[in-house]
Amino acid sequence: MIFKKKPKGPDDRLMAALATVNDPELHRSLTDLDMVKSAVLDGSVARITIELTTPACPLKDTIRGDIEAAVNTAVPGTTVEIEWTAQVRNGRHGGGGQAQDLPGMAEVKNVILVASGKGGVGKSTVATNLAVALARTGAQVGLLDADIYGPSIPTMFNQHQDVTSTDGKTIDPLYSCGIKLMSMGFFIPPSKAMIWRGPMLHSAVLQFLKDVNWGALDYLVVDLPPGTGDVQLTFAQNLKVTGAVVVSTPQTVAIADVIRAKAMFETVNIPVLGLVENMAWFECDGCSKKHYIFANGGARNAAAEMGIDFLGELPLLTAVREGGDRGIPIVEAEPDSTVARAFLDLARAVASRAAIAAANAPAEAGASPAAKRSLPIIG
């Protein structure tokens, strides 16, 4: 008879050491947050598996250093080997509505609204590249183009084919650059004008939420129309969301509209995850100097005055516009470029704020849990 070796259970000394290590953003211990999935001492090697709250975690190296210090204090001379996985938590608690009223959203863990107080600030470009950047971290991502009058997503992904329905009941999203896509532009030809009143906008948005087969998503990024109109109100009244990212340019006229957008989200109980400054600077060919065409630091200063997080600066570069026109977002087309790295930093910042929102959400809030899956993290 062959006896299988019984797997080792968690080592008490390692678990006690890991209980002293806090997540640097959630300010709670790794054990309290159930992030320690295994901790085995194999001779002089501590083999530890940590489940991050997002694959886009920006402070993984900080957590690694704190774990190594704690383990070597508890068990001197130990070599620490860490395996990283990720399980995005449910963070939908702002706004209104109930998950059961929107069956298409049942397995969506976080809804991130990308908004702007006015048009022309590059909101759709930010939403597009934010979604692609989140997907490149290993997350499951969808992008909903909720700008019914001026849909941009079909052009930005060069997706113009008709949508289909596999089961005859729900709408199948299109798929590009690793994310699921839905837009009114997939239903209406570019030559046709959308002449709809508010109730029709409301119905269209609800259909995108109820009848699109989004499936299990870690993040649904929503590209809202500019301003504070009917579509924003529909989301606030009918959907539980994680929070909003507000896009602005540095000049005063854009910042004034940011204040109104922030006030709107506060009124409908949707947290603002932060403010991002788009078109922050320009660098001409052959010149390494940054030119601040639309003023310098306006959004950063406004974020400080309003008491919200500043999520970063994004440059004004020809390659970003060219990528949008060709239907290949810059994060996909040139992932190693400076601007792509800026979008990846933005994605990590947004994912971090979403994880904090999830940790602070009431236990009963949010969507029904998606099928649990553990994502391997490289690095």
pLDDT per position as a tens digit, 318-335? 888 888 888 899 999 999
CATH number of the domain that residue 29 is part of: 3.30.300.130
pLDDT at 365 over 60: no
Q: Is 259 helix (H, G, I), strand (E, B) or coil?
A: helix
Note the pLDDT of residue 376.
46
292: amino acid identity, one letter? Y
Q: Is 168 helix (H, G, I), strand (E, B) or coil?
A: coil
Kindly report, residue by residue over 94-151, the tens digit of the pLDDT: 777 655 578 889 899 999 999 988 788 889 999 999 999 999 999 999 999 998 888 8
In this structure, the answer to whether residues 69 and 133 fall within a common structural domain is no
Which string of DSSP letters, residue by residue, matches 269-315? T--EEEEEE-S--B--TT----B-TT-SSHHHHHHHHHT--EEEE--
Residue 313, beta-bridge partner list: 277
In this structure, the answer to whether residues 82 and 105 fall within a common structural domain is no
Note the pLDDT of residue 379.
40
Q: Is 326 helix (H, G, I), strand (E, B) or coil?
A: helix
Cα dihedral sign, 32-37-41-44: negative
In this structure, the answer to whether residues 74 and 125 fall within a common structural domain is no
In this structure, the answer to whether residues 170 and 264 fall within a common structural domain is yes
In a domain, 229, yes or no: yes
In this structure, the answer to whether residues 118 and 52 fall within a common structural domain is no
The overall pTM is greater than 0.75: yes
Distance CA 90, CA 96 (A): 16
DSSP structural state of residue 162? P
In a domain, 375, yes or no: no
Note the pLDDT of residue 202.
78
In a domain, 186, yes or no: yes
Strand-strand pairing, 240-241 and 94-95:
antiparallel
In this structure, the answer to whether residues 75 and 123 fall within a common structural domain is no
Q: How many residues can be counted in the chain?
A: 379
Least confident of 13-22, 166-175, 291-300, 349-358: 291-300
Composition of the chain by helix, strand, coil, percent to 5: 35, 20, 45
Structural domains in the chain (count): 2
Do 203 and 146 form a contact (C-beta atoms < 8 A)? Answer: no
Range of the domain at 24: 12-86
What are the CA-CA distances from residue 197 to residues 118, 149, 202, 203, 301 (Å)?
A: 20, 11, 9, 10, 37
**Can you tell me the mean pLDDT for 202-226?**
91
In this structure, the answer to whether residues 37 and 111 fall within a common structural domain is no
Note the pLDDT of residue 20.
96
In this structure, the answer to whether residues 82 and 104 fall within a common structural domain is no
Quickly count: other Cβ atoms within 10 Å of residue 362's Cβ: 7
In a domain, 37, yes or no: yes
Kindly report, residue by residue over 41-63, the tens digit of the pLDDT: 999 999 999 999 999 998 999 99
Note the pLDDT of residue 323.
86
Note the pLDDT of residue 373.
45
Report the candidate in 199, 56, 228, 363 with the shortest Cα–Cα distance to residue 244.
Answer: 228
Helices vs strands, H then E, count in the chain: 11, 14
In this structure, the answer to whether residues 126 and 27 fall within a common structural domain is no
What are the CA-CA distances from residue 66 to residues 23, 69, 79 (Å)?
A: 9, 5, 14
Scanning the structure block, which residue is given the tokens 């699921």?
Answer: 180
Instruction: Place 8 in a pLDDT band, splitting at 50, 70 and 90.
Output: low
Distance CA 38, CA 48 (A): 5
Do 337 and 123 form a contact (C-beta atoms < 8 A)? Answer: no
Instruction: Place 79 in a pLDDT band, splitting at 50, 70 and 90.
Output: very high
Which string of DSSP letters, residue by residue, matches 114-128? EE-SSSSS-HHHHHH
The DSSP element (H or E) to which 346 belongs, if any, is helix 338-360
**For the stretch 204-236, what's the b/e string if a residue is b when 16 or more beta carbons lie within 10 angstroms of its beta carbon?**
bbbebbebbbbbebbbbbbbbbbbbebbbbbbb
The first and second tokens of residue 328, run together, are 């290949």
Distance CA 311, CA 278 (A): 11
Note the pLDDT of residue 198.
65
In this structure, the answer to whether residues 136 and 159 fall within a common structural domain is yes
In a domain, 7, yes or no: no
In this structure, the answer to whether residues 267 and 355 fall within a common structural domain is yes
Note the pLDDT of residue 296.
74
pLDDT at 298 over 80: no
Note the pLDDT of residue 97.
63
Report the candidate in 129, 106, 170, 15 with the shortest Cα–Cα distance to residue 367.
Answer: 106
* Mean of per-residue pLDDT scores for the chain: 85
In a domain, 171, yes or no: yes
